[in-house]
């Protein structure tokens, strides 16, 4: 049996709350990005940002699905001498668990790759190859969870570096908060690489990830507030 659950029993359900918070934050950023794309359709980066964060949100949704199990009844027949017994048995299916994890990893990596491609322009062929490689990598990394986290870590490092470059250009509070948020999310991925060693590490990584997404939400709020403030000037 594969071990894909690294959460301690007492933390079951609490990680779902963290994932829901992450989904809400990611959807908020995706929604504002789509809203601004409608105002300025010439800048396709808004649409890419919307897709990137949207796919990550969808990924987290699939991660939540992994917590549910399908129960179903099957009829079994047994012969005991002259007697034939037919009875129903309750069985559990892990299909949601495996499909959920696979989709979570694929969508998360494609989402991060789209964010990366906003800053480092990619040709259509590169995008198609990367999506193929991500799908293959995810499928064959079922037995090695850390491959997914290392790949996410690398993409997050590249994105965070771009946010650092952006911060050095603008030097304002919103870009600084964004930089910190992504640094924290990157740090959480680093911890996720080692969750196989200790269940406590999983809890710490989840909590750090929560901090990162809350930081992203603060960034969004600060950005909207700064936009409003300039109106009064």
- Residues of this chain that interact with other proteins (CB under 8 A) are 32-33, 35-36, 39-40, 42-43, 45-46, 49, 118-119, 162-163, 165-166, 169-170, 172, 174-175, 178, 219, 222-224, 226-228, 230-231
* Cα angle: 117, vertex 120, 121; to 5 degrees: 70
Nearer to other proteins, 151 or 181 (CB): 181
Six token digits for residue 151:
């790949």
Does residue 5 contact residue 94 with C-beta atoms inside 8 Å?
no
Nearer to other proteins, 45 or 135 (CB): 45
Does residue 29 contact residue 220 with C-beta atoms inside 8 Å?
yes
Does residue 30 contact residue 3 with C-beta atoms inside 8 Å?
no
Nearer to other proteins, 119 or 146 (CB): 119
Nearer to other proteins, 183 or 199 (CB): 183
Gap between the Cα atoms of 5 and 11, Å rounded:
11
Compute the least distance from the CB of residue 120 to other proteins, in Å: 12
Gap between the Cα atoms of 172 and 168, Å rounded:
9
Radius of gyration in angstroms for the set of CA atoms belonging to the chain, rounded to a whole number: 22
Six token digits for residue 74:
């099957």
Stretch (H or E) spanning 182: helix 173-193
Nearer to other proteins, 66 or 177 (CB): 177
Compute the least distance from the CB of residue 39 to other proteins, in Å: 6
Compute the least distance from the CB of residue 203 to other proteins, in Å: 30
Compute the least distance from the CB of residue 13 to other proteins, in Å: 33
Compute the least distance from the CB of residue 124 to other proteins, in Å: 20
């Amino acid at each position: 049996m594969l071990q894909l659950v690294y959460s301690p029993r007492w933390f079951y359900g609490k990680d779902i709350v963290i994932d829901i918070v992450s989904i809400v934050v990611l959807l908020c950023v995706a929604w504002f990005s789509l809203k601004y794309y409608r105002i300025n359709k010439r800048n396709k980066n808004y649409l890419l940002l919307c897709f990137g964060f949207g796919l990550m949100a969808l990924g987290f949704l699939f991660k939540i699905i992994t917590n549910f199990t399908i129960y179903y009844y099957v009829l079994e027949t047994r012969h005991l001498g002259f007697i034939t017994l037919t009875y129903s048995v309750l069985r559990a299916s892990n299909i949601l668990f495996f499909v959920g994890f696979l989709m979570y990893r694929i969508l998360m990596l494609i989402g991060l790759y789209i964010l990366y491609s906003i800053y480092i322009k990619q040709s259509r062929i590169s995008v198609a190859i990367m999506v193929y490689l991500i799908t293959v990598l995810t499928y064959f990394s079922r037995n090695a969870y850390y491959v997914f986290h290392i790949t996410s870590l690398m993409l997050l490092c590249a994105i965070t570096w771009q946010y650092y470059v952006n911060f050095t250009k603008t030097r304002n509070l919103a870009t600084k908060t964004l930089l910190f948020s992504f640094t924290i999310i990157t740090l959480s991925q680093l911890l996720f690489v080692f969750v196989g060693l200790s269940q406590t590490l999983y809890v710490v990584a989840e909590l750090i990830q929560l901090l990162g997404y809350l930081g992203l939400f603060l960034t969004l709020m600060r950005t909207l507030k700064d936009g409003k403030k300039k109106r009064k000037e």
